[in-house]
């Protein structure tokens, strides 16, 4: 098909096209689609998944960056009014607007499906989670090593800021591990289909941006104790209050940040928010 279109896979755009129907079926099955749902697809490529989605749901919003592929997709879906193609970068397209323009029918929900271009996996997942988009579920193909990070437990080497960000707002599950041969061209690594059932941030977490800053600080210097990490970073809290905040949250400051559970991060952040540092005033007019 690519040859016929005069195109070649572009490594820089993470183009590894699915060529195995079983995997397409697994992704669709994990999404438990209903006819009332809408789906945001990131990187439709040649449209293998998009085609199936168009038959199964109310509307599909498909965001593709590659001009050549957008041309082809325009032809393929010319007769399908429920497919809305967006030519753009999924990291900068206004996803909230797009989802609002194509809402699900009563009883349905908005979902994200994607065989992700691997170079945007982390920023895209962070967007989906932190922008609090009205999405109930995401089923994404990611590198296996990233899948491990999404599911990692405290104290393991894979546990990091991404694990906490995801587990705060979603229940992640590996649906399938996928060998390179199901793609053309085959990538150098194994992949995995991950299902993320989204849920709102716990209410006691308070300010989400503040919590994200606490998590970032805790993982910024993995070899430091939590107390030192929180006192040496640029987080928006009073550094002198860190020992008292840790004591109040019932967390030993001598531990390393990477040993804290998601619930402990929420508790610590809630206490530290009471010791918020006033914003710095710039001397520049």
Rounded to a whole number of angstroms, the minimum distance from the CB of residue 40 to ligand SAM is 11
By CB under 6 A, name the one of 2, 7, 13, 174 that touches ligand SAM.
13
Strands 59-64 and 38-42: parallel
By CB under 6 A, name the one of 31, 73, 117, 245 that touches ligand SAM.
117
By CB under 6 A, name the one of 91, 126, 208, 220 that touches ligand SAM.
91
Which lies closer to ligand SAM via its Cβ, residue 98 or residue 215? 98
Task: Compute CA 101 distance to the chain's CA centroid, rounded to the nearest angstrom.
Answer: 21
Rounded to a whole number of angstroms, the minimum distance from the CB of residue 61 to ligand SAM is 12
User: Which residue is nearest to ligand SAM, using beta carbons?
Assistant: 43
Binding of ligand SAM by 14 (CB under 6 A): yes
For residue 254, give the nearest of 242, 263, 266, 270 by alpha carbon.
242
The neighbour count for residue 250, using CB atoms within 10 Å, is 10
Contact partners, residue 15, CB within 8 Å, separation at least 6: 9, 45, 66, 117
Tell me how far CA of residue 109 lies from CA of 99, 106, 154, 255, in angstroms: 11, 8, 32, 41
Rounded to a whole number of angstroms, the minimum distance from the CB of residue 132 to ligand SAM is 21
Handedness of CA 155, 158, 161, 162 (dihedral sign): negative
In the chain, the DSSP E strands lie at 17-18, 38-42, 59-64, 83-87, 110-115, 137-143, 170-178, 183-184, 191-198
The neighbour count for residue 211, using CB atoms within 10 Å, is 23
Rounded to a whole number of angstroms, the minimum distance from the CB of residue 52 to ligand SAM is 11
Which lies closer to ligand SAM via its Cβ, residue 117 or residue 257? 117
Rounded to a whole number of angstroms, the minimum distance from the CB of residue 11 to ligand SAM is 11
Q: Fill in the per-residue mask, 15 to 44: x = in contact with ligand SAM (CB under 6 A), - = not in contact.
A: xxxx-----------------------xxx
Residue 43 and residue 10 in contact, taking contact as beta carbons nearer than 8 Å: no
The two structure tokens encoding residue 196:
């993320």
By CB under 6 A, name the one of 30, 65, 214, 241 that touches ligand SAM.
65
Rounded to a whole number of angstroms, the minimum distance from the CB of residue 42 to ligand SAM is 6
Binding of ligand SAM by 120 (CB under 6 A): yes
Query: Which residues of the shown chain bind ligand SAM in the complex (CB under 6 A)?
Result: 13-18, 42-46, 48-49, 63-66, 69, 89-91, 115, 117, 120
């Amino acid at each position: 098909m690519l040859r016929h279109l005069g195109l070649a896979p572009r490594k820089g755009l993470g183009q590894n096209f699915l060529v195995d129907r079983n995997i397409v079926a697994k992704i669709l099955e994990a999404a438990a689609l209903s006819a009332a749902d809408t789906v945001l697809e990131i990187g439709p490529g040649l449209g293998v998944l998009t085609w199936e989605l168009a038959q199964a749901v109310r509307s599909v919003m498909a965001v593709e960056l590659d001009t050549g592929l957008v041309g082809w997709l325009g032809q393929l879906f010319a007769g399908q009014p429920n497919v809305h193609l967006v030519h753009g970068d999924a990291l900068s397209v206004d996803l909230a607007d797009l989802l609002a323009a194509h809402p699900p029918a009563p009883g349905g929900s908005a979902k994200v499906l994607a065989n992700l271009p691997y170079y945007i996996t982390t920023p895209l997942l962070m967007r989906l989670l932190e922008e609090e988009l009205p999405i109930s579920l995401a089923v994404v193909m990611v590198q296996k090593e990233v899948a491990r990070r999404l599911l990692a437990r405290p104290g393991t080497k894979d546990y990091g800021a991404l694990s906490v960000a995801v587990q705060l707002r979603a229940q992640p599950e590996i649906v399938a591990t996928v060998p390179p041969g199901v793609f053309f061209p085959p990538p150098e690594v194994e992949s995995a289909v991950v299902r993320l059932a989204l849920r709102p941030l716990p209410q006691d977490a308070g300010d989400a941006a503040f919590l994200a800053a606490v998590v970032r600080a805790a993982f910024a210097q993995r070899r430091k104790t939590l107390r030192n990490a929180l006192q040496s970073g640029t987080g928006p809290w009073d550094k002198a209050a860190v020992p008292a905040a840790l004591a109040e949250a019932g967390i030993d400051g001598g531990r390393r940040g990477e040993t804290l559970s998601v619930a402990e991060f929420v508790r610590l952040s809630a206490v530290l928010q009471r010791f918020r540092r006033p914003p710095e005033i710039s001397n520049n007019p």
